[in-house]
Chain A
Amino acid sequence: MNIWNLLLSAIVTTLLGFIIGVTYMGIRRKIVALAQNRYGPPIYQNFLDILKFWSKESNIYHGVMHHLAPLWMIAMAITILLIVPTQYGSKFFENLSFNGDLILILYLMPFGQLGMALGVGQTGNPNSAIGVTRGLSLLVGSEIPFIMALIAVMIQYHTTSVTDLVRIQQEHHTWIMFSSPFAFLAALCVLPAMFHAGPYEVIIAPAELASGPMSEFGGKYLGTMMSAGSIFMFAKLTLFVDVFMGGSTNWLWLIVKTFTVYLFVIAVGIIMPRLRTEQAIRRLWGWPLVFAILAFIQVALF
């Protein structure tokens, strides 16, 4: 595998991730609008938003960290997208998937948020600081059940490699969501919190925090952050599908699966009202943690 091939596949994967992620965001806005009895924006609206932010002519600059934070976010999003196996058995879309395992992915996932926290600190906006503290609290809340669920899966299948998990599922024609249902339930319950969607949007809360961490970012910075968010969202969906729903062997199947999961996130978001931080953490450490412990018991017994 030569370097040009690798680069080409990385670029293609990133572009596809970007397009799919941004389209998902647009579809989400459309669905939310329909649920509120509106027509809503066209589904390509988010592309226009990003393009508009990129064609702004002035960009406020607060300092080096402020400048780096969006870059940090997008770098992390793309790295994770390249490490997560998107296509099982495809030589072209292999990317870095054999070099990284679940533990590395779990380690990289909070990096975007941490980089953002540093950048936000430099803007000096109090709303942003509150948003970041809320974000980090929610991170702790959602990571613990999620990591426990993944560890249960790792112990059960004696591997930490995502590619191996996908291979096992493809060869046995089963999905881990059926063979270890408790781990799946635990991960599913914390999924909305990992997307900062649904009842867990207390971080950006536009009406009370003025969009929290993003409040001092405008122009190209915000455009980059929106792109990073979309790519990261698609990477997380792909990871979820890979671990619990058997991965996929072509893009169409991947889109069907990831969109089904995303539909769940959207539906929860439409139905549930926003939780306060402590309520959110109590909820995240409630049933999801019970499910995660049940997953461990299942691993130990069977």
Chain B
Amino acid sequence: MNRAFNDRESQKILDIIKNFARKNSLFILAYGTGCGAIEIPPTITSRYDAERFGIRGAATPRQADVLLITGYLSVKTLKRVIRAYEQMQDPKYVMGFGSCTINGGMYWDSYNTIKQLDKYIPVDVYINGCMPRPEAVIAGFVKLQQLIQQGKALGWKHYKENLEWYRQNQQKVIKNWRMPDYNW
């Protein structure tokens, strides 16, 4: 009896059901950092209506599944982003908007922004463009849904396993690293 429930096959079926629910119910925490924040309202309101896909705004990191980093990140903001990310409950996903999160974009030689978001928190889906239009944003969400369904959106696991590396990178840019003690 017990073996039937711990069986790989039943685990697989359970995963399919779980992933189906996860994929169709994405609560987003829009961290409006750069210019990209302006593309979120049209995406989730009447014109493009992201709620069709079960995408809905979450008020706090605790309730959210997807963290949207919408544009360039200054070092000061990065600290808050890390806190918000670590407060989210697993499984959690990150989407990077625009070229600024991919390679620095037009802020490449700025003195106080980071260039590659990937080094500080794990990103599951990037959307390129400067700025990506709502169509592109929704395409990004559909891509994320595919990854979740296939069980490939595992950035959160990667973050936990390589925490040391991420912490090193984070502390390299954040000079006054004084994070409060909190449990995840």
Contact = CB atoms under 8 A, between A and B. Distances in A.
Interface string B55-96: 011011011010000000000000000000001111100000
B89 A55 contact: no
Chain A CB count within 10 A is highest, among B62, B65, B91, for B62
A211 B60 contact: yes
Contacts of B6: none
B51 interface: yes
Interface in A8-47: 29, 33, 36-41, 45
A39 B60 contact: no
Interface stretch (A133-141, A170-178, A216-224): A216-224
A218 B63 contact: yes
A129 to B, nearest CB: 14
28 contacts: A29-B51, A36-B45, A36-B46, A38-B52, A41-B51, A45-B24, A48-B24, A49-B25, A49-B27, A51-B25, A52-B18, A56-B91, A57-B90, A58-B89, A58-B184, A61-B183, A206-B59, A207-B59, A209-B59, A210-B59, A210-B60, A211-B59, A215-B60, A215-B62, A216-B62, A217-B62, A218-B60, A219-B62
A39 B89 contact: no
Interface residues of B, number: 28
Contacts of B65: 52
A280 B24 CA distance: 36
Given A56-B89, A56-B90, A58-B184, A38 B49 contact: yes
Contacts of A40: 49, 51-52
A106 to B, nearest CB: 31
Interface in A203-236: 206-207, 209-211, 214-219, 222
Given A49-B25, A51-B21, A52-B25, A33 B49 contact: yes
A134 to B, nearest CB: 15
Given A52-B22, A59-B89, A215-B60, A45 B46 contact: no
A207 B88 CA distance: 19
Given A38-B46, A40-B49, A60 B62 contact: yes
Contacts of B18: 51-52, 55
Interface in B7-59: 17-18, 20-22, 24-25, 27, 45-46, 49, 51-52, 54, 56-57, 59
Contact of A222 (B17, B54, B63): B63
Contacts of A33: 49, 51
B21 A52 contact: yes
Contact of A48 (B25, B51, B62, B88): B25
Interface string A49-69: 101100111111100000000
Given A49-B27, A51-B21, 13 more contacts: A39-B51, A40-B52, A45-B24, A45-B25, A56-B90, A57-B89, A58-B184, A60-B183, A207-B59, A210-B59, A215-B59, A215-B63, A216-B62
A57 B51 contact: no
A214 B45 CA distance: 24
B159 to A, nearest CB: 12
B47 to A, nearest CB: 9
A211 B63 CA distance: 10
B52 A55 contact: no
A39 B49 contact: yes
A222 B65 CA distance: 13
Contacts of A49: 25, 27, 54
A1 B42 CA distance: 58
